[in-house]
Every structure is written in C-alpha cells, then in structure tokens.
Structure 1
Amino acid sequence: MFDNLSNRLTSSLDRIRGRAKLTEDNIQEVLREVRMALLEADVALPVVKDFIAAVKARAIGTEVSKSLSPGQVFLKIVKQELESVMGQANDGLNLRVARPAIILLAGLQGAGKTTSAAKLAKYLKEREKKSVSVVSADIYRPAAIKQLETLAGEVGVDFIPSDLSQKPIDIVNNAIDYAKKAHKDVLIIDTAGRLAIDDEMMAEIKALHAAVNPIETLFVVDAMTGQDAANTAKAFGDVLPLTGVILTKTDGDARGGAALSVRHITGKPIKFLGVGEKTDALEPFHPDRLASRILGMGDMLSLIEEAEQKIDKDKAEKLAGKLKKGKGFDLEDFKEQLQQMKNMGGMSSMLDKLPGMGQLGNIQDKVNDKMFVQMEALINSMTPAERRNPDVINGSRKKRISTGAGLQIQDLNRLLKQHKQMQKMMKKFSAKGGMQKMMRGLGGMMPGGFPGGGGFPK
C-alpha cells in the first residue's frame, strides 16, 4: 500500500535522519524532495502546499534547533503533520441512536459500494457484535441487488429483498419498517451509482437522504483515482451531509494521493480503508498508523489486532502445547501456519505492517502469495506419513510428490529447507525468551540481506 510514496519519502528523510545539526538549507533541500514525492503521489496541490508550510515552520523553529537529535525530531514533525493532514485520530461510526442505526452508502459506479456494504456489515457483526440488515436501492444496475444478496449470505447478515420495479424511496422505507420490527441494530443501505456526477443522480440521492435521515452517510470512493477521489467526495459533500469516507482498493494504490487529500479537501474523515477483495478486507482508518507505514515505521498495532481476530486460537494453543511437550513441528503444522498467514491477508500484507520493510528494496516483489499456493500443493501431494516425518522423503518420493503437485523437484527441496528452518525457529519460540529468537529465525527465511539464507521461490 502506497509503496511509491513510502519509498520516495523514506529515501529523502533517511539523509536527514542522523544529522547532528539541521540548517535552513538542508531542510529546504529535503522539503523540496518531499514536495515532489507528494505531487508524484497525486496529492492535491493545496494539501502539499499547506503540509510543506507546516513542516517548514516547525522545523526551522526552536523545536528542532534545541533538540539533541534534530534529524529524529524532524522525522517526528513530518509524521505528526502527515497525521494532521489525514485527521489526527480514528473517527469511528456513530451508532448511538434508536434502533436501527441507518448507514447510507453513496458514490460513483465501480467504486465498490456493494462490496463495501457487505464488508461493513461483517465488520459490525463480528467486531461490534451488532445485528445487521442490508438492502439495495440500486434499481439501475440489475446485478446489484443479486450481488448484495449473495454477499450478505457469505457474511451471514440479513438481506432485505428489493426489485427493479420499486422506487428507491419505497425500498428504503420498507427496509426501515422491517429492521424496526426485527429489532435490528443497524441497517445498511446500498444506493445507485453513476459513471459520473450528474444533476439527476444528485437530486435522487438528496431526496433519498431526506426521506431516510441516516445517522451515517458514507461516501465510497476508489483510492486509485488519486486526488480525483477527493474532488468527487467534495462534489457529493456539497449536496449531502456526509459523515465520512470509505476509501476502497487501497491495496492496489501505490501512490496514496487520495488518503492524503480527502480530509483536507472535504473536511470529512476517512473512516475505513478497503484493503482487498475478501469480505473481511476492511480496516478502520487510523491516521497515526498509516503515517507510520508511509514512513517505513510499520504498523504493529494493526498487525497484532489482525492476528487476534483472524488466527484460530484453538489451533495456535494446540500447536503450542505440542511444541511444549517436545513433539516435532511437522509439515502438517507448517501447512496450518501457511493457512493462518493467508487468513491475515498473505505475506505481502503482513510485511507491509512490519517496521523497516521499506528499506529492504524489492522484498515485496520477491515475497508473493503464489509461493503459499505452491507449498500447499506440495504438502497435499504427500502421504500422511511423509507429512509427519519429512526425513523419509527420498529421491523417488521427491519425484512423485513434485509431479503430483505439478512442480519441480527444486521447489520441493526449497520447501523442505524452509520447513527445517521453521522447525528450528519453533524450538526457539517454545524455549524461554523465544519471541526475539523467533523474529531472528524468521529473518533467516527472508530474501534480500537477512541472515541465514534460505530464500523464497521467485
């Protein structure tokens, strides 16, 4: 996420990070580079101007000159101003109303409104423990109603039927009546999008909003449209009393212009980030955490929260108990760990949140989730006895396993080597003070300058 911006900013700021003394000249030089990085990331010009002015005013003042480590203070100022541009703190949903709390989603066609409705429903159901209903008032796109019904079934929330012959206002009024009678905590309304902003669309969504009077009106916008996302959000905000923004497709956005422009231009907070296609790929927006990720400092809090939500605790405890008893870490266990990592969005998503990953160059390119598919295929091609005791895998068995998985023998050799490294790491983890040892061991499995070699398949 935002790789281009992150790489440009970290390389510019690295040169000033360790300086014992900062002058107006070297601050100006770095700020010029930061300005170019932001403009290339498609951040809106007014946002860039205000950001640079704020950093410069603080950096040239006494805040830096009186510090024992001016380079570190300068970096801290940049981080704080990034947070300020994006909104300071997480701005959650306001659901403190009589049931049902109504959430209206608006936006252009193709921004991901319907998927976001399902993701938000799943988030509220699982994390906020709310009973949720969803309804589609999109009578212009025939597949929209069916799509929402399918997604609602996937995430296990109540879908309220609607059809193309109904008027949007009638659909939502019926849905509100149903949600009240069913004592639902939240009703999410998916509205129609258009290919572009037009008077007819704005008049319709304005009338719908007036009839519904939702507690939350969220604008759903595609992050990959850059500063246009902020401009479109402003156009909607001029017509509707928006309460916040859901920024979608951020996992495919290497620039970051939308995230850094939306709050400044619209005055509305980003409340959620869409970080993938799966229904659990929705994250509450934390400006401080995103600023850390942009500056290569990682986001361990989000990683820990994600682990708590998505890792199967029973399986983790079972493995811990097995290791404690001195039983080996076999390939069945290894496969289980691969699946747990997939549940957390894959290795690239995890690396994105680890500190210092930006300094490792193209590690994200080397570590892709295709390798997990290959590893699982190889393990699935083995017999239960081979998985429990990989030492029995000789030449003829290797040929059979790799052929069965549709891969090469060298792919299998690589898997077996990585399993050995993971085995050693798990022994350290189960020993006293194991977490630090485990992190060092994990480093041994990484490509690009980590100790221990091993490497991932390309």
Structure 2
Amino acid sequence: MIFEGLSDKLQDAFGKLKSKGRLTEADVKNAMREVKMALLEADVNYKVVKDFVKKIQERSVGEDVMKSLTPAQTVIKIVNEELTSLMGDVQSNITYASQPPTVIMMVGLQGAGKTTTSGKLGGYLKKQGKSPLLVACDVYRPAAIKQLQVVGEKLDIPVFSMGDSESPVNIAKASIEHAKKNSNDLVIIDTAGRLHVDEILMQELKDIRSEVRPQEILLVVDSMTGQDAVNVSESFNEALGIDGVVLTKLDGDTRGGAALSIRAVTKKPIKFIGIGEKLDNIEPFYPDRMASRILGMGDVLSLIEKAQDSIDMEKAKELEKKMRKNEMDFEDFLTQLEQVQNLGPLDKIMDMVPGMGDIKSKIGDIDKSGKELNRNKAIIQSMTLQERRNPQLLNGSRKKRIAKGSGTSVQDVNKLIKQFNEMKKMMKMFQSGNMMGKMKKGGFPKLPKLPF
C-alpha cells in the first residue's frame, strides 16, 4: 500500500483519541507528538513536520474543538485538511498552449524513470484525446533512444529521433516542426539525466528550454528516495523553474516523505504519480484523495474512475442479469475474475474503500500477487466450453484432466467449484430475501472466501 507505514502510525495515534469521550489539551499534545514522530520516520522534511504539527495543534486546542460532541473526529478532520493543504489543496492540471503543439519537457536524474514516464504520460494524454509525439533527446545513455521507441511502439505513439550524434537542442527544435507537419498537438521531450545534479546537465536543459519554450517543465523523481527527492526537486526548481513534479514508484513507497515534502519545499505541485510498472500505471495526483487514503478514509472517487476505465459495463450488466436469475456458469465466473483483475491488486482496491483498512489488516490471506486469481482462471480455461456452461458435468475424471491441463491439483479444482457453488447459494439467498431475514434477526451467514 502507498504510505502504509505512515498510514498505520497515524491511524494508531488517532485511534487513541477516539477512545476518549472528551479531549484535554494534554491528549492533543500527546497525539501530536506521535504524529510528529510518524512523519519524521516517514522521512518528511523536518521544517515541514514542525510547521504542520504546530498548525494542527493550534487549531485542535481551540474552544470549538474541545467542547464539540466529537472532538476526536474534529481533530482528524483538521489533520485531513492540513494534509491536503500540505500536498497542494487541489489537483494541478497540464497547461496547454493556445496554439498547438503544447510542449512538455521531462527532466530529472538518471534512474528516476524519466523515459518510461514520458511514454506513460503520452499514453494517458492520448486517452484524453491528444495526439502526442515522443522526442528522444537523451543521446548519452546507451539504449535510451531505443527504450523510448519500444515504449512508443507499445503505446502506438510516434517517436521523433535524430540518432545520438545530433545535439539535444537541435533535436528538440526539429521535433516541434515535425509535430506541426504531422498534426501532433502535444510534444513530450525526454531529456538526458545524470547520476547527480551538475552544471553541464543544467546548461543543456536551459538551452533546450530557451529553444522550444515549453508550456510545462515536469521533474520526474523517485519517491522512494525520500529527502533526496526533495533536495533534487529544490535544485532543479532553482536552476530551471519547474512547473510540476511527477512522482514515480509511489506504489513501493511505504513512507511518503517525498510526497508530503515536495510541495511545501518547492511550492510546485505534484501533477502525476507513477503507481506501477505497466504503461498505464500513471494517474493525476489529487491531494485531497491522497490525504483521505493516508488517514484510512478511503478514496471512492478514484475507485469509481478506475472501475469506469477497467470494467466493461455491458458485460457487467449481462452478468448482473444472470446473477439475479441464478443462472451464472463458469463462463460468467471467468468474466467476473477478469473484471476484478482489470481493477488491479485486491489490497490496493481495498485501500480505496472507506473503513476497509481495518478489515484488511485482519485478513491474512489477501491475494496481493494475483497468484490465486490466475490459478483459478487457468482452471476455468482448462475446462471445455460444455463443462463451463454445465458445471454439473464435472466428475472425477474431468477434474483430473482439468487439474493436469491447468498445472494445478484436483484439490484446487474442488476448492474453486466449492467457492463457485457458495457464491451461487449466497446470490439465491439474496434473491429469496432469506439473507435480509437472517440479518434482521441479528445473524449473518458466513460469506464464501473470494476466489481472488
């Protein structure tokens, strides 16, 4: 989970406040001490932590808060507001040129994921209706041009290159003319990086900036480097005047120091975040949504957007009709598993659902890697079409054949069939009203284990 370590510590601190009916000033101070330690351990900039905790404490010990009926919830609301403010209040969008093409210059140190991020951003903006052109201006790193071309090919985005013997400034300049001739309304320039900030790197970037006058200079930084990411952001901003930051590898960042410090230190917004290795694993950064997730309050809007992008609504409606009539077969079950898989890892989805953080911590066998889901898909795909549509045909010999074909065991096949039958039984109970009747009487039937 993103910021898992920080999130757990903050939720523990506020859990202690919730157990108190009324809060004293000492209660708030103790909680803020824990918040301060949690943020420092998360590698958040010391000055940022100091100012952040001071603001919360000043707001939290006010008369209105201390005398409110739910003082703990009011304090958490204040923390949520201040966290959101710390990360930039509102989402910051790309600035587009009034006269195309819009030029986005990607800068950053070597190893931050700049080339892949350039492609990811191009792919994301292509879905928004843009016609991007990727430009290979890193002529120093071996295979950098080839890497961008491979990414462009996978995303069906053209790549402009003049080889590694031409100067990056000339390549950038020529790419603008190429974009105009080929109706590309968006130019994304992948510039060279270094292992550290140096004068030669900065001068080259300044020369490209002067030549092409980009609407956006986006700094790509590795969020897992914590304070180093903040220091790099400060250096690039002072030298170039960046317009925003793209944080990569946020899915592996359990601390959160970079995301919580960069905006406060540089005064520049985080515009996008990289949340995985796949080329569609990039999304806009919403400070309010991230604050809610850190505090265990979920992120319903992002979940809805993810579902809209990932789920085939026509298939979902058809599946719903079959479930209502209790006519679901293994063909439908396979569709259901694939729809779930498109949403991403289950533990990440659960993080977006309000209140699921606590439940998730009590479930020890969430299929984070997707191994069980893939195994169940393999089992169903090893069935004949007739067997999928008529599960009652699955006798002992058929199960052995399916297990062999899917590389699993007969026990695995039996387990999946059991889960399938339990889900059908549960749907039948919902349809008949038996489920609601049991709940009204204070009982709740045991839910089947999810097959993913």
Which residue does 2:406 correspond to in 1? 405
Q: 1:125 to 1:318 in 2, by over 3 A?
A: same
Which residue does 1:167 correspond to in 2? 167
Which residue does 2:357 correspond to in 1? 358
Q: Do the aligned partners of 1:223 and 1:253 also contact (CA within 8 Å) in 2?
A: yes
1:358 Cα shift? 2.2
SS at match of 2:139: coil
Which residue does 2:120 correspond to in 1? 119
- What do residues 255-305 of structure 1 show as CA deviations (whole Å, max 9, x unaligned)? 111111110111110001111111111111001100111111110100001
1:61 Cα shift? 1.1
SS at match of 1:298: coil
Q: Do the aligned partners of 1:275 and 1:281 also contact (CA within 8 Å) in 2?
A: yes
185-194 vs 158-167, greater mean Cα deviation: 158-167
1:455 Cα shift? 3.5
> Between Structure 1 and Structure 2, how many residues are aligned?
442
1:125 Cα shift? 1.1
Give, as a single letter, the amino acid of the residue that structure 2 aligns with 1:218.
L
Q: Do the aligned partners of 1:247 and 1:259 also contact (CA within 8 Å) in 2?
A: yes
- What do residues 117-146 of structure 1 show as CA deviations (whole Å, max 9, x unaligned)? 1111111111x2111111110001131111
Q: Do the aligned partners of 1:17 and 1:74 also contact (CA within 8 Å) in 2?
A: no
Give, as a single letter, the amino acid of the residue that structure 1 aligns with 2:221.
V
* Distance in 1 of aligned mates of 2:186 and 2:27: 53
Q: 1:402 to 1:37 in 2, by over 3 A?
A: same
* Distance in 2 of aligned mates of 1:31 and 1:332: 53
* Distance in 1 of aligned mates of 2:395 and 2:196: 62
Q: 1:343 to 1:176 in 2, by over 3 A?
A: same
Which residue does 2:58 correspond to in 1? 57
Q: Does 2:385 correspond to 1:384?
A: yes
Give, as a single letter, the amino acid of the residue that structure 1 aligns with 2:352.
K
Q: Do the aligned partners of 1:17 and 1:75 also contact (CA within 8 Å) in 2?
A: no
1:315 Cα shift? 2.3
Which residue does 2:96 correspond to in 1? 95
1:426 Cα shift? 5.5
* Residues 50-449 of structure 1 aligned to structure 2 (within 5 Å): 50-126=51-127, 128-323=128-323, 326=325, 328-360=327-359, 361=361, 363=363, 366-368=366-368, 369-424=370-425
* Distance in 2 of aligned mates of 1:329 and 1:365: 26
* Distance in 2 of aligned mates of 1:305 and 1:151: 25
Q: Do the aligned partners of 1:270 and 1:285 also contact (CA within 8 Å) in 2?
A: yes
Q: 1:202 to 1:428 in 2, by over 3 A?
A: farther
* Distance in 2 of aligned mates of 1:164 and 1:426: 62
SS at match of 1:192: coil
Give, as a single letter, the amino acid of the residue that structure 1 aligns with 2:143.
A
Give, as a single letter, the amino acid of the residue that structure 2 aligns with 1:333.
D
Give, as a single letter, the amino acid of the residue that structure 2 aligns with 1:317.
K
Alignment RMSD, CA only?
2.3
Q: Do the aligned partners of 1:366 and 1:456 also contact (CA within 8 Å) in 2?
A: no
Q: Do the aligned partners of 2:118 and 2:190 also contact (CA within 8 Å) in 1?
A: yes
SS at match of 1:302: helix
Give, as a single letter, the amino acid of the residue that structure 2 aligns with 1:117.
S
Give, as a single letter, the amino acid of the residue that structure 2 aligns with 1:352.
D
1:39 Cα shift? 1.1
SS at match of 1:134: strand
* Distance in 1 of aligned mates of 2:251 and 2:87: 18
Which residue does 2:446 correspond to in 1? 452
- What do residues 165-185 of structure 1 show as CA deviations (whole Å, max 9, x unaligned)? 110011111100011122222
SS at match of 1:88: coil
Give, as a single letter, the amino acid of the residue that structure 1 aligns with 2:329.
D
- What do residues 317-346 of structure 1 show as CA deviations (whole Å, max 9, x unaligned)? 33334445x361111212112222222223
1:217 Cα shift? 0.5
* Distance in 1 of aligned mates of 2:294 and 2:391: 41
Q: 1:428 to 1:89 in 2, by over 3 A?
A: farther
Q: 1:427 to 1:113 in 2, by over 3 A?
A: farther
* Distance in 2 of aligned mates of 1:8 and 1:159: 45
Give, as a single letter, the amino acid of the residue that structure 1 aligns with 2:7.
S
Q: Do the aligned partners of 1:237 and 1:266 also contact (CA within 8 Å) in 2?
A: yes
* Distance in 1 of aligned mates of 2:28 and 2:411: 51
SS at match of 2:246: strand
- What do residues 396-424 of structure 1 show as CA deviations (whole Å, max 9, x unaligned)? 32222222222223322222232234435
Give, as a single letter, the amino acid of the residue that structure 2 aligns with 1:393.
L
Q: 1:53 to 1:412 in 2, by over 3 A?
A: same
Q: 1:57 to 1:150 in 2, by over 3 A?
A: same
382-391 vs 20-29, greater mean Cα deviation: 382-391
- What do residues 76-134 of structure 1 show as CA deviations (whole Å, max 9, x unaligned)? 011111111101110111114210000000011111111111111111111x2111111
Give, as a single letter, the amino acid of the residue that structure 2 aligns with 1:224.
M
Which residue does 1:29 correspond to in 2? 30
Runs of at least 5 residues in structure 1 that lack an aligned partner in the other structure: 441-449
* Distance in 2 of aligned mates of 1:334 and 1:415: 10
- Taking structure 2 as the reference length, what is the TM-score of the superposition? 0.92
* Distance in 2 of aligned mates of 1:215 and 1:423: 55
* Distance in 2 of aligned mates of 1:171 and 1:413: 61
1:428 Cα shift? 7.5
1:153 Cα shift? 1.8
* Distance in 2 of aligned mates of 1:93 and 1:432: 51
Q: 1:122 to 1:363 in 2, by over 3 A?
A: farther
Which residue does 2:12 correspond to in 1? 11
1:151 Cα shift? 1.3
* Distance in 2 of aligned mates of 1:432 and 1:123: 45
SS at match of 1:366: coil
313-322 vs 399-408, greater mean Cα deviation: 313-322
Give, as a single letter, the amino acid of the residue that structure 2 aligns with 1:105.
M
* Distance in 1 of aligned mates of 2:57 and 2:154: 50
